[in-house]
Amino acid sequence: MEYESLLVDTSNQVTTITVNRPAKLNALNHQTIGELRQAFEQAGHDEAVRAIIVTGAGDKAFVAGADITEIRDQSPVQARAFSRRGQQLMLEIQQTEKPVIAAINGFCLGGGMELALACHLRLAAESARLGLPEINLGIMPGFGGTQRLARLAGTTRALEMTLTGDPIPAQRAADLGIVNQVFPVSELAGAARALAGRLAACAPEALRGILQAVLRGSETDLQTGLELETARFALCCATEDMKEGTAAFLEKRKPSFGGS
Ligand code: COA
């Protein structure tokens, strides 16, 4: 599929989605949000794809936010629809049944931060800066940032970052548990590909089970979460991949997971 604002490349079972508006620091306009929904839908349903990377084009930004020129011209009713549409995209990304890695290669602000927060794993370049600076525009985050940042880093940090709007360096984000790992910028893309490749070689049903048990389980009470874990564990044990994984271990060889 051809996109106006995205580059999408699939190789070795990994789809890389690159937001490609470098002259606007990859800001998310309506078009880009719609294309991201399409690209994630396609990669999510393609059985040949087992992991997804999202990143930004150019050497300056991951995504520097929702497109401020579009926000400015919205009526309140349009703004409400814009927020719901952005939230829907982020929810679809979070609910993707294969691992989604954000490779944060530069400014990761506003809607860009919200995009990164919806991903399952976040790798960042040392030079990246992450924040929710909407307060400086007289608005607030509207694509899930208030909810996901508070859940991820706690209300103390979430309130500090949203009320001041001050971005933080990648290493600080890692210290706060917002980012998984930090790399020199020249190593980031390779590190993301290596991690995605490693995940792509895993048993897909086990990956799906883990994603659901951790993400849905953490939103519910322990008993319900444990029941979900048991159900998904049992489902893993009904797969050919479980037979392959256990046989490979006992035969002292590397497993080859076919996805069935
Ligand atoms: N929406 C629309 N356009 C944006 C944008 C956004 N969120 N972020 C950057 N751009 C545009 C700039 O307007 C500029 O366009 P121009 O060349 O046509 O004037 C271009 O991208 C380059 O940005 P610029 O501000 O010149 O780069 P910089 O290096 O001086 O500053 C930032 C980089 C990230 C600090 C600055 O662009 C910024 O603060 N962006 C907005 C961040 C934000 O508030 N995001 C939340 C939005 S809800």
pLDDT digits (tens, 9 = 90+) for 21-64: 999 999 999 999 999 999 999 999 999 999 999 999 999 999 99
Supply the residue whose CA is at minimum distance from atom 34 of ligand 1.
64
| pLDDT interval class at 1 (50, 70, 90) | confident
Residue-range definition of the domain harbouring residue 104 = 6-200
Q: Could you tell me if 71 and 121 lie in one domain?
A: yes
pLDDT for the residue numbered 226: 98
End-of-domain residue from the set 200, 215, 233: 200
222 within some domain: yes
Q: Which of 25, 132, 162 to mutate to test the pocket of ligand 1 (most atoms within 8 A of CB)?
A: 25
- CB neighbours of residue 181 within 10 Å: 14
> Which residues sit with their C-beta closer than 6 Å to ligand 1?
24-25, 27, 64-69, 107, 109-111, 133-134, 137
pLDDT for the residue numbered 118: 98
Question: φ and ψ at 50, to 5 degrees?
Answer: -120, -5
Q: Is 229 a catalytic residue?
A: no
Query: What is the position in ligand 1's atom list of the atom closest to the CA of 109?
Result: 45
The number of folded domains in the chain is 2
What proportion of the chain, given as a percentage, has pLDDT over 90? Answer: 98
pLDDT per residue over 164-200, tens digit each?
999 999 999 999 999 999 999 999 999 999 999 999 9
| Amino acid, res. 51 | A
Across the chain, mean pLDDT equals 97
DSSP 8-state code for residue 74? -
Q: Could you tell me if 195 and 219 lie in one domain?
A: no
Q: Could you tell me if 35 and 74 lie in one domain?
A: yes
Supply the residue whose CA is at minimum distance from atom 8 of ligand 1.
64
| pLDDT interval class at 73 (50, 70, 90) | confident
Residue 210 is part of a domain; what is its CATH number? 1.10.12
Q: Could you tell me if 169 and 233 lie in one domain?
A: no
pLDDT for the residue numbered 240: 97
Q: Could you tell me if 140 and 218 lie in one domain?
A: no
- CB neighbours of residue 160 within 10 Å: 15
257 within some domain: no
Q: Could you tell me if 184 and 244 lie in one domain?
A: no
Q: Could you tell me if 113 and 186 lie in one domain?
A: yes
pLDDT for the residue numbered 230: 98
Q: Is 134 a catalytic residue?
A: yes
pLDDT per residue over 92-113, tens digit each?
999 999 999 999 999 999 999 9
Q: Could you tell me if 28 and 46 lie in one domain?
A: yes
39 within some domain: yes
Q: Could you tell me if 159 and 97 lie in one domain?
A: yes
pLDDT per residue over 154-167, tens digit each?
999 999 999 999 99
Residues contacting 80, CB < 8 A, separation 6+: none
Give me ligand 1 centre to Cα 207, in Å: 37
